[in-house]
Structure 1
């Protein structure tokens, strides 16, 4: 059964082409093998003779590992470059408050504004292609530092290192307690496996966002509980607490924990039902929106608003629906709330459209430019600016931007981009603009 499981795991990893996942499996596996065969490894090392043959073999292994690392780096290179761009901009956010950070959970509410500012000042073609709407730093340590400062990072690393290097003593009486409580058959196997699991998550955190994925968070809690339980039992044995006292103490703690869990479960059930209802309303509102039944869609959004008013994605959808229904003043209010939680190109473009319909052309221009600098590889914001300048009676600005659109590299060719190019080409031809480059 184990070889079959390992085979399927290897197939899944190879199919995913996820370098972070592969690395986060290989290193904990080496850790477990080293722990399991540490006596044999030490014996081999002591008896190893550094002959020319062994040195050549060692050098060959190093070369193969280096080639594999370089090949892995160039696998999905654009994805790796995109992460480097996010880390570079994340470092700029950190400069705002290095000691305490910008606030827990605030990365999503700040990042896109900093990305727009970065591209205003650093318009490099190789980085422009990588820009996209971003929610996470793709590095938990960087995101923790940005949100909680270096103090938060030190606290996080202290907990991680304490858990990873906490040792469980091998004692016969400790093993007896473990077996008696049916906790595990070997006194060190489960804590060691739990540490390997935490190490896996810690490595994956360097390149992704596991703290945002519920199954991974659940496993992390399980791993921490396993280590904490083993340490608790070791402490109980080391202080020579009589079995009767230990059982009585465990019973009291169990009753207290049961009551606490009962209260927590009741509260959680109420909150889950509350949010489940609001998310269902959101789903219904989106369904109506997709069928262009905007008035009914807005009613559903309004019902869901009290429970989801701190959700940037929900507010963006709500503001867009209000715009489509022609309720521009209300749309702007909701979209401004959305931008405080999750600034993105969709909310900026919707803001610009509402300002344009209200005749507030300078505000619309600013909103469209914000959307463009957030993702400067997209044609649509500049296309909307051309249309705005036509209404605003600014033909020279419209012509200049139309020419820029014709010379932009297209990140993702589509029917929409071809149509935009076609319209801009016709506009330039009809208005006898500068020759296209």
Structure 2
């Protein structure tokens, strides 16, 4: 009897600890920031999330093992199938369709999110309301954090912005708030209907959820509205307006009632006025940060050239940053220094997730993604307001995705996955697979236990090694900043085996080698970096190393590539003029010096004045000797 009693208690503990574990993971992941890591606002969240998923996987598998049944009942939705297809395609696109894949935090996110989704699909349906509270709680926490940054109590994570939350700049921060806001507003507006997510009306859980629905969502709505204007993220503002408009219309039917009761003439006038207001609003948003808007338009324009060259499978998973700057340089090489040069910069993202997805995954990947969207719209669930909240939130994220990069932000992806898992779980047209066998407990469960154990052990070992490498990378960055290049290089060498396919790491490592005059080693590392990432930093560092090695043709090519990437910058042209001068190419040196002197200045600075003075000195010197 004692054994049976303890077994029941243990089983109940495991079963009821899984959902709180997931809730804590949702609530905590966005705020994680471990300063000892390189790129802490990104890497901290991913490493923490992977560890949390491994723990949740153990709890889920133990719960499965404790079920005393000879029948395994698997239910899956068409959403599950299409998501699985997209994940498998992206894995194949990374390893099979392309070579020389890069180290990718996004890929680690993809694998961990896959495990997260499987666990979500195996929790009780009534648990989703608690997870929604976890999402709103994370949003409230971020809103408070942001307000404290504005008030000066906490420092931001970017020297150029006062408000970042626990993210690396205001854009991702605003995007996360825009993802949480429709969840909070939807739960508040439709709280009476959404109480049906909790089946029983007589227990403490139902009473607690009913009370929570009165306060938590509205606190989330107010707290986000207080801070979102300060982010100055036009994409997030637009996302909030669109998703809120949908939710309010579905709740109060204002537009529908107006259309039914109003004459045709009034409808025409109102429609025309609405179009003018929308056009004026969009134009104002465009003008608010016109340079930023034009920069995004230019990135989209250049990205279409990549699609033309890689139409079917794209350039590969998370390889946008490896190709984009080369195409930008090619554009200016062909077209010259157009007005677009003043908005061009080093770009790691497409600032439009749909365009970037097409660039990386091609038409095949885009068709699979559209199939997911189709199944989302087509799915039927009995609690219609749940689907409405999900659609409004996905719409908000989609609007933001047109102008930013939410798929780089793990907390936003967590929100998306919860929504999709909820839709799939409440889908009324799921497929059912029954596996009935007396050997289920004797064979399948032990095999599963061994498999999960291997995954967990391997996962923790990998995560520990990765975390240590990223810590070492951070130490190397600090040593470099202090001018201790020898120590920095030693630390880069320690982290190299694990991060040898990380473009940003290789860029930092190669730059340290170049500054320390280890030119042959620097060339190898920087050329390797270009396969995974290319920027003006890499090209100018390559130019410096090739110049030191007296390989002037290679140095010239590197400096020219850097100059073509961002034509408005003076520094690559300055390096090119110095190269010509030092290598005795007098005519080229004079021509480049005059080009720099005549060049239009984008942002005046002391450095540009010094560069122009040095160009005058080069001209004077060479004219005296000739």
| TM-score of the pair, normalised by structure 2 | 0.60
What CA deviation, in whole Å up to 9, does each residue of 1:47-72 have, x standing for no partner?
3322x455434433332222112211
Q: Does residue 1:375 correspond to 2:566, yes or no?
A: yes
Give the Cα–Cα distance (whole angstroms) in 2 for the partners of residues 53 and 189 of structure 1: 31
Instruction: State the shift of 1:124 in Å.
Output: 3.8
What CA deviation, in whole Å up to 9, does each residue of 1:371-400 have, x standing for no partner?
111111111111111111111111111111
Q: Does residue 1:218 correspond to 2:408, yes or no?
A: no
Partner secondary structure for residue 607 of structure 2: helix
Structure 2 counterpart of 1:413: 604
Is the alpha carbon distance of 1:267 and 1:188 closer, same or farther for their aligned partners in structure 2, counting shifts above 3 Å? Answer: farther
What CA deviation, in whole Å up to 9, does each residue of 1:14-57 have, x standing for no partner?
2222221111111121222232234x65454333322x455434
Is the alpha carbon distance of 1:359 and 1:95 closer, same or farther for their aligned partners in structure 2, counting shifts above 3 Å? Answer: same
Structure 2 counterpart of 1:48: 262
What CA deviation, in whole Å up to 9, does each residue of 1:200-232 have, x standing for no partner?
11221111111001111111111111111111x
Q: Does residue 1:143 correspond to 2:356, yes or no?
A: yes
Structure 2 counterpart of 1:340: 531
Is the alpha carbon distance of 1:14 and 1:89 closer, same or farther for their aligned partners in structure 2, counting shifts above 3 Å? Answer: same
Is the alpha carbon distance of 1:130 and 1:159 closer, same or farther for their aligned partners in structure 2, counting shifts above 3 Å? Answer: same
Contact 2:330 2:564 in 1 (8 A): yes
What CA deviation, in whole Å up to 9, does each residue of 1:319-372 have, x standing for no partner?
111112221111100000001110111111111111111111111111111111
What CA deviation, in whole Å up to 9, does each residue of 1:156-176 have, x standing for no partner?
11102321342213xxxxxxx
Q: How does 1:193-342 map to 2 (within 5 A)?
A: 193-231=389-427, 234-235=428-429, 264-342=455-533
Q: Which of 325, 340, 350 matches 1:127?
A: 340
Is the alpha carbon distance of 1:165 and 1:199 closer, same or farther for their aligned partners in structure 2, counting shifts above 3 Å? Answer: farther
Instruction: State the shift of 1:109 in Å.
Output: 0.8
Structure 1 counterpart of 2:229: 14
Is the alpha carbon distance of 1:369 and 1:302 closer, same or farther for their aligned partners in structure 2, counting shifts above 3 Å? Answer: same
Partner secondary structure for residue 341 of structure 1: coil
Instruction: State the shift of 1:13 in Å.
Output: 2.8
Structure 2 counterpart of 1:117: 330
Give the Cα–Cα distance (whole angstroms) in 2 for the partners of residues 424 and 55 of structure 1: 64
Cα RMSD after superposing both structures? 2.7
Contact 1:164 1:199 in 2 (8 A): no
Q: Which of 369, 373, 377 matches 1:164?
A: 377
Give the Cα–Cα distance (whole angstroms) in 2 for the partners of residues 373 and 412 of structure 1: 18
Stretch deviating more after TM superposition (217-226 or 260-269)? 260-269
Is the alpha carbon distance of 1:74 and 1:156 closer, same or farther for their aligned partners in structure 2, counting shifts above 3 Å? Answer: same
Is the alpha carbon distance of 1:19 and 1:261 closer, same or farther for their aligned partners in structure 2, counting shifts above 3 Å? Answer: farther
Partner secondary structure for residue 530 of structure 2: helix
Structure 1 counterpart of 2:580: 389
Instruction: State the shift of 1:287 in Å.
Output: 1.0
Instruction: State the shift of 1:255 in Å.
Output: 11
Unmatched runs of 5 consecutive residues or more in structure 1: 170-186
Instruction: State the shift of 1:6 in Å.
Output: 3.3
Is the alpha carbon distance of 1:302 and 1:43 closer, same or farther for their aligned partners in structure 2, counting shifts above 3 Å? Answer: same
Q: How does 1:54-73 map to 2 (within 5 A)?
A: 55-73=268-286
Structure 1 counterpart of 2:206: none
Is the alpha carbon distance of 1:142 and 1:387 closer, same or farther for their aligned partners in structure 2, counting shifts above 3 Å? Answer: same
Partner secondary structure for residue 98 of structure 1: coil
Instruction: State the shift of 1:430 in Å.
Output: 4.2
Structure 1 counterpart of 2:18: none
Is the alpha carbon distance of 1:256 and 1:24 closer, same or farther for their aligned partners in structure 2, counting shifts above 3 Å? Answer: farther
Contact 2:586 2:622 in 1 (8 A): no
Instruction: State the shift of 1:140 in Å.
Output: 1.2
The count of aligned residue pairs is: 401
Stretch deviating more after TM superposition (305-314 or 262-271)? 262-271
Give the Cα–Cα distance (whole angstroms) in 1 for the partners of residues 557 and 269 of structure 2: 63
Instruction: State the shift of 1:279 in Å.
Output: 0.6
Contact 1:191 1:230 in 2 (8 A): no
Instruction: State the shift of 1:102 in Å.
Output: 2.1
Instruction: State the shift of 1:266 in Å.
Output: 3.8
Structure 2 counterpart of 1:176: none
Q: How does 1:56-95 map to 2 (within 5 A)?
A: 56-95=269-308
Contact 2:559 2:572 in 1 (8 A): yes
Give the Cα–Cα distance (whole angstroms) in 2 for the partners of residues 427 and 104 of structure 1: 47
Instruction: State the shift of 1:302 in Å.
Output: 0.3
What CA deviation, in whole Å up to 9, does each residue of 1:392-431 have, x standing for no partner?
1111111111111112222233332222122123333444
Stretch deviating more after TM superposition (415-424 or 380-389)? 415-424
What CA deviation, in whole Å up to 9, does each residue of 1:275-327 have, x standing for no partner?
11001100111111111111111110000001111110100111111112221
Give the Cα–Cα distance (whole angstroms) in 2 for the partners of residues 139 and 158 of structure 1: 19
| TM-score of the pair, normalised by structure 1 | 0.85
Instruction: State the shift of 1:4 in Å.
Output: 5.5
Instruction: State the shift of 1:432 in Å.
Output: 4.4
Structure 2 counterpart of 1:184: none
Is the alpha carbon distance of 1:269 and 1:41 closer, same or farther for their aligned partners in structure 2, counting shifts above 3 Å? Answer: same
Contact 2:544 2:555 in 1 (8 A): yes
Partner secondary structure for residue 309 of structure 2: coil
